[in-house]
Chain A
Amino acid sequence: MYAYDEIDRTLVNERVSEFRDQVKRRLSGELTEDEFKMLRLQNGVYLQLHAYMFRVAIPYGTLASNQLRALAHVARKYDRGYGHFTTRQNIQFNWIKLSDLPDALADLAEVGIHAMQTSGNNMRNVTSDQWAGVAPGEIEDPRIWSELIRQHTTLHPEFSFLPRKFKIAITASDHDRAAIKVHDIGLRLIKNEKGETGFEVLVGGGLGRTPFIGKTIKHFVHGRDLLSYIEAILRVYNQYGRRDNIYKARIKILVHELGIEKFSREVEDEWQHIRNSSLQIDDEVIEDIRSRFIYPAYEKLPHMPDELRQAAADPDFEAWRKNSVAAHKNPGYSIVTISLKPIGAPPGDATAEQMDALADLADKYSFGEIRVGHEQNLALPHVAKRDLPALWKALDKLGLATPNVNLITDIIACPGLDYCSLANARSIPIAQELTRRFANHELANLIGRLHINISGCINACGHHHVGHIGILGVEKNGEEVYQITIGGRADEGAALGNLIGPGVKFDEVADVVEDIVEAYLALRERPEELFIDTVKRLGVEPFKERVYATR
């Protein structure tokens, strides 16, 4: 994890005192809501249906145990005892008072957590692979670069009032767990033939009303030029991005309207002016940032310890291990994903008690470190294999050992109309019903990897376009109606799903998904053919026939 130094701490504290002053001026009427709105958004404060919502950043998804405890403390002291992990490595609290927010921010600042730019038309929380630094085969830890970008884009004097929000994601593995192709800028860390670190840069991806898969703007930007290249993209966007229509203001629309060739020429011109400036990063700077990431002192441990061998006799343990435990770059250790998708519960929610208990487990079994992934699950990144049985028992007691990672009940869902002022339809109850339908673990395992994504409006916070099955809630004549797509994916093979037919009512969604799944089970060539591959092979038609034959 990254340890703040005095410089980082000072900035976060200065930000807290600035916001305290802004809240005071707002409550006294010195600032109008119109003037205050952008200021509160830039500190992660939204207004939702029932209350203010507070979104806290977890940069590149890395948390220390004391930070997770601080989040639990905020949930308990200022909110209703739980938090919601989002699809962009943030956590949200749903019931907070504006008058309490400066204190909540001050409490978080003590452990180096902030909410800067988790909303607003600026650079959002930089996200990365939740397995960064531990995934086998990773080229190098992308969080060093994520942190470099985080610092560079925090309170940026030129880019804090962009046409619209701006999101960057980074991966350094072949398998993209950071969904870089649906970000404003996606960065894939690679090496050139000299072995130097650089990035393939993608631009203009995004979901929402007008979804686009990002396009490669440059095949290799040297690491030393990363900041100047990003600055060039942002400068072109800040000047030419549309400001006349909020729905056309994202960079994806600019890239689309100019075309990638013209857009990249503009960026290239700008970049030539600034690439040899003080934005150039030398190795020493990278080393300095790297030196403040704390890496565990791994022991040399057996690949197959006795503890693991004995526990294999327990089918429940084995089901969990096979599902939730992944290979670590160090063979004596594992990466353990913690499902926040228990059957019948809102996806991504964790109670203060669970957070505290997880922090303790992280201290005991994972060198005090926790990760947050865009699938709204958590992970313990450094668990010795001999500790897996004990960890499983502890997680099970907390309701955190549901063996459904990457299965049909591991649903990504936005808060929807239960909480969100933008939503047209509910998401969470749909997710809950679906998890009940597929609660049987053998059934879910038989189906195999299948991602369901649910959004309660066109803004697509549940990433429905890139769900293997995507569900979009809309409102039609005062009723909730759901449009269903299949064939989307968010990984290195990113694709947008296709609509299977007319929307269906709230009560019918789970039936339709069951029909789609039954069709898949009948159509797949062999058990190993994943849902997404069957859809790719056969297209939408056979699924559509099945769903609408009787409707």
Chain B
Amino acid sequence: MTSPLQQKLKITGPSVVTANRTWDGVVVYRTAARGWSVELTDAAIVRNSDDAKALLAEAVADDVGAIGPYIAPVQVDEAGKILPGNLREQIRRDGVTIGLPV
């Protein structure tokens, strides 16, 4: 399998690095403070391939903290708020689109 660091990184807009926390699997986002947050709004934004690569490399290095880090597209609204860039990321942030049985 190709390591995420070897993948070609083409960034078309603002992006973040996201993963799942190792001990409980919860969705997390890489912050500028070299940590993880469960809030997308805390995520570090990258806007070019070099920055994205650097942020991803730093995330990959924290294998104990979170697993499967990758770069995900986001949108930044006029107020500077970060929003998911696609349906998958929207579902990861907000949860399932259906009512849960319980």
Contacts and interface: CB of A to CB of B under 8 A. Distances in A.
A–B direct touch in complex (beta carbons closer than 8 A) = yes
Interface of A: 26-29, 32-33, 47-52, 80-82, 96-99, 345-346, 349-352, 417-419, 426, 428-429, 432, 478, 480
A97 B21 CA distance: 10
Nearest to B62: A29
Contacts of B92: 49-50
A98 B98 contact: no
Contacts of B87: 417, 478, 480
Nearest to A27: B23
Interface string B87-99: 1100110011110
B41 interface: no
**A-B residue pairs, 10 tightest by C-beta:** A81-B102, A51-B25, A97-B24, A52-B25, A418-B96, A29-B64, A82-B101, A33-B67, A349-B101, A99-B23
Contact of A47 (B68, B100, B101): B68
B75 interface: no
B102 to A, nearest CB: 4
A51 B22 contact: no
A349 B96 CA distance: 14
Report whether over half of chain B's contact residues are helix, strand or loop; otherwise say mixed. loop
B27 interface: yes
A49 B88 contact: yes
Contacts, number: 75
Given A47-B20, A50-B95, A51-B26, A478 B101 contact: no
A352 B86 CA distance: 33
Contacts of B98: 346, 418, 428-429, 432
B100 A429 contact: no
A391 B67 CA distance: 47
Given A418-B91, A480-B87, A49 B101 contact: no
Contact of A32 (B63, B86, B88, B102): B63
Given A50-B92, A418-B96, A419-B96, A97 B25 contact: yes
Nearest to B67: A33
B63 A33 contact: yes
A503 to B, nearest CB: 16
B27 A47 contact: no
A509 B88 CA distance: 20
A50 B25 contact: yes
16 contacts: A27-B23, A32-B63, A33-B22, A48-B25, A49-B88, A50-B95, A51-B20, A52-B24, A346-B98, A351-B101, A417-B87, A417-B88, A418-B91, A418-B97, A429-B98, A480-B87
Contacts of B27: 49-50
A52 B68 CA distance: 12
B25 A98 contact: yes
B26 A82 contact: no
A358 B37 CA distance: 41
Contacts of A480: 87
B2 to A, nearest CB: 12
A47 B91 contact: no
Contacts of A49: 27, 88, 91-92
A118 to B, nearest CB: 17
A417 B87 CA distance: 9
B63 to A, nearest CB: 5
Contacts of B26: 50-51
A349 B95 CA distance: 17
A432 B22 CA distance: 33
Nearest to B86: A478
Contacts of B22: 26-27, 33, 98
A465 to B, nearest CB: 24
